Chain A
Amino acid sequence: MVSLNTPTAAPPGAPAGAAPAGRRPALRRDGRYAGLFLAPSLAGLALFTLFPTVMALGISLFDWPVFGERTFLGIDNYTHLLNDPVFRRVVLNTALFVVLYVPLNVVVSLGLAVWLGPKIRGRQAFRVLFFIPVMTPMVANVMVWRLLFQPGGLIDTGMQSWFGVDAPNFLGSSSWAMPAIVAMSIWQGFGYNFLVFSAALDQVPQSQLESAQIDGAGPLQRFRYVTWPMITPSIFFATTMTLITSFQVFAQPFILTQGGPGVSTQTIVMYVYNQGWQFLTMGLASAAGWVLFVIIMGITAIQFVGQKRWVHYDV
């Protein structure tokens, strides 16, 4: 360790590569204190996040029943997953959910945020109203939607009395079940992004919009060339977070359809839950968890690289 009072050894006009010796120890000391302050959360991160992640990687190399003998398999769990038609379908389902849900969520929440611009009366009340589904427990939301969707439910009886035809069996038909889950999820989840976008829109300086208007820009042009660039950081944040959470979708299909009919609404996290906690095969569950982890990591990395092209932080 270098003491603080070490005399300056470097002569004046030393090469630029050698940092001034008086400055370095101070930096090091800062680093030490920073490390000290970070230690508790680093320890927590290591214990509760990194360790389980690495542990799961270890478990995924074993046939690991909750009871009974464990045997080392190497990558067999992964090859099993890749060759399992059910797991492949499960990955596709998750991708389908993401592809349907993320854009729709952003469009709905951004659309409503723009619509509820500063000039609307009672916008605070609307904001609260739109945020209510986010605050109510998911299980309660799903129960209500199930009563809407199921045969003899609200939509079905409504269609029968008005049009005299049966509604589709939303939760029992392989082609309707996923759209039904996406619809429910958007209703449940758009309020959060709506708040993020509302806050971002409020930050757009009125003066710039006005000068654009004086220059002859219409409402669409003002949105495209003034508002949009300024809210791109928020849109980036919202899409990244929504993408990550929608890859992890679990509660909606779990309660609404149990992943059925067949495996048409089973998602990766549901697969992990079932393998681990219902069928007690931890090895396969951990392997599937790692597959999801790698997918999310990859896509988030791509997003971060891609943001340079369209996100503007310099406003």
Chain B
Amino acid sequence: MSSWIDLSANELLSQLEAGQVTSQEVVTAFLDRIHQVDPKVHAFLNLFAEEALQKASVVDERRKNGEKVGLLGGLPVAVKDVLCMKIGATTAGSKMLERFHSPYNATVIEKLEQADGIILGKTNMDEFAMGSSTENSAYNGTANPWDLERVPGGSSGGAAACVASQMAPLSLGTDTGGSIRQPAAFCGITGVKPTYGRVSRFGMIAFASSLDQIGPMTNSVEDAALLLEVIAGHDPSDATSLDRPVPNYREALKEPLKSFKLGLPKEIADFNPDPEIQKAVEAALEVYRETGATIEEISLPNLKYAVPTYYVIAPSEASSNLARYDSVHYGYRTDRKAMMAGLEEGDSPLVQMYSQSRAEGFGPEVKRRIMLGTFALSKGYYDAYYLKALKVRRLIRQDFDRAFEQVDAIIGPCTPKPAFKIGEKVSDPISMYLEDLFTVGANLSGNAAMSIPCGFTSENLPIGLQLQVPALEEERLFRIGHLYQQVTDWHQRRPSLG
């Protein structure tokens, strides 16, 4: 019965709990949908159909016998291919890791399994999560389900596209500079970047460790609350994970906020967001006013420096993190014979092996970022670039701290423009970087943020509304987002993929 894919995760969960449907039936419905539409969308890199059905039957059996069933109760989940899993390859969208089989599961994978989530497969992404379009994947791009000629955003493009096209009710992405929120905005779904440290990064292939965070990508705020509750929490294997209790986020949704203040950064106008996006955001502000919120103008004076700050810090951390791909312990290695034959007098075979393997294993954007990061960290330039960026990062954080003294949440567009055409920005890295304009601030400062659908352009492309709250205020974030979704239906619109 194909209508199961039309339900939200929470609705499906109620049906599962009420015995109206089995996990096997739900998993089958989503697998059928994947077979039907993924040839057009290409959201998945790898499917675990057999394992998923097997696990679903175990959950069904336990439920039938009245045994305890985890929070996800047999719901299917899709996982971005940057998260290590013992089954299948974990590629991070890179040729470098084409044949990498992780010896362990990421902590979030363990948590999904303990909660009886059924992992359907791994989703496509920009290589090592570097990109805003999923075009940097070594395994072909992913199409935007609303317009197959456009990108789904990135780097969690597959994760967003699979939820938007009803191939999975829940999906995990990762966000270093906007990689959950921007694709969520482009695909018309809900995407949450939790507070830095809220979710363990153990087993997430690192891009920029001080910015990376795993988060839910779903059909609604309610569904995101469910998924975050499962994956959040302290983990001894990640020293940066916060040792703080995990609230019952779904329970929090039942106590709506009485009155609250939303802040609209006045600097957003300086970047000329698309007029249709501005209109949609203004309409969303009106919706909030009607529910009793007050809107205030706030200032984030260093907003214009967020992207350049990010493009020093993130590549610097990446150049260091990606130094581990040495073609010795795991990953791609160049052909030895050809390499040895090409050696010139005085060349070190070992250095040549590293350099050639890395040159062949990494794609162009990853190389650019490694180069920029290596440059910014190198002797003579460290102070002028890396240290300078760390100082501006502090100023950006202070802007947020001041804003949050004034308002409960910051509101604005998630992206300056809607989804762009495939190929439109590949030859212009800087224009691609500016996709992160409104989203990188939350990563630099560490606070929580979310994109929810707030309308469509005249070309029927989704528009994302970004909400940002202080660190560890996810309950507030969800309440504010949920309130909007109770009085609007943008999040229930679906693309017509046939």
Answer whether A and B are interacting partners.
Answer: no
